[in-house]
Amino acid sequence: TFVDQELSAAELERTFIAIKPDGVQRGLISDIIARFEKKGYKLVAIKLVHPTKDFAEKHYDDLKGRPFFNGLTDFLSSGPVVAMVWEGQGVIKYGRKFIGATAPLASEPGTIRGDFAISVGRNIIHGSDGPETAKDEIALWFKPEEILTYKKETDKWLYE
């Protein structure tokens, strides 16, 4: 039956999404969460954290050596961040579509960065760029027990 249906591996795909300090300060938390929620993705972990500089450097480890690295990690550690894990079929790639291009002026209207941001260094949201980074970023930001696996009645109306 519908209710007993197990979640498929695709539905269990997970991505790490963070609303950066500018998104929190500008009051965009609810708007950003609403987009993921209304699409049908499932929130499986969420917390408000003020990352340290050291933690921000770990998060952006792959960008070490880039000219903007210091400013970027200063910025990420400048205030509270909403850290989240979202789950669902195609969520990694579609999350990136939701977010838009790195430079907000190159992001399409309708995307989060396109609708709400101007500068590349104030682009309000982070999202994992692939399965490997998703795995690493989720493990960096969350303890396993902070991530919940649960069923929603609406799952059967979202997945065929």
- Write out the residues near Mg ion by the rule CB under 5 A: 129
Locate all alpha helices (DSSP H) within the chain, ordered by sequence.
Answer: 21-25, 29-39, 53-59, 69-76, 91-99, 112-116, 131-141, 155-158
Q: Which of 70, 102, 130, 148 binds ligand UDP (CB under 6 A)?
A: 102
In the complex, least distance from residue 123 CB atom to ligand UDP, rounded to whole angstroms:
5
Q: With binding defined as CB under 6 A, does residue 123 bind ligand UDP?
A: yes
Instruction: Enumerate the active-site residues.
Output: 126
Q: Is 102 annotated as a binding residue?
A: yes
d(CA 75, CA 92): 24
Whole-angstrom CA distances from 124 to 81, 86, 88 are 10, 17, 22
Q: Are 60 and 69 in contact (CB under 8 A)?
A: yes
Element (H, E) at 83: strand 81-87
With CB cut-offs between 5 and 8 Å by kind, which of Mg ion, ligand UDP, none does residue 102 bind?
Answer: ligand UDP
With CB cut-offs between 5 and 8 Å by kind, which of Mg ion, ligand UDP, none does residue 72 bind?
Answer: ligand UDP
Per-residue b or e along 126-151, where b marks 16 or more CB atoms closer than 10 Å to that residue's CB: bbbbeeeebebbbeebbeeeeeeeee
In the complex, least distance from residue 44 CB atom to ligand UDP, rounded to whole angstroms:
21
With CB cut-offs between 5 and 8 Å by kind, which of ligand UDP, Mg ion, none does residue 123 bind?
Answer: ligand UDP
Coil, helix or strand at residue 57: helix
| Total binding residues toward ligand UDP, as defined by CB under 6 A | 9
Residues of this chain, 13-52, that bind ligand UDP according to CB under 6 A: none
List the binding residues for ATP.
20, 68, 96, 102, 113, 123
Give the footprint of ligand UDP on this chain (CB under 6 A). 63, 68, 72, 102, 120-121, 123, 126, 129
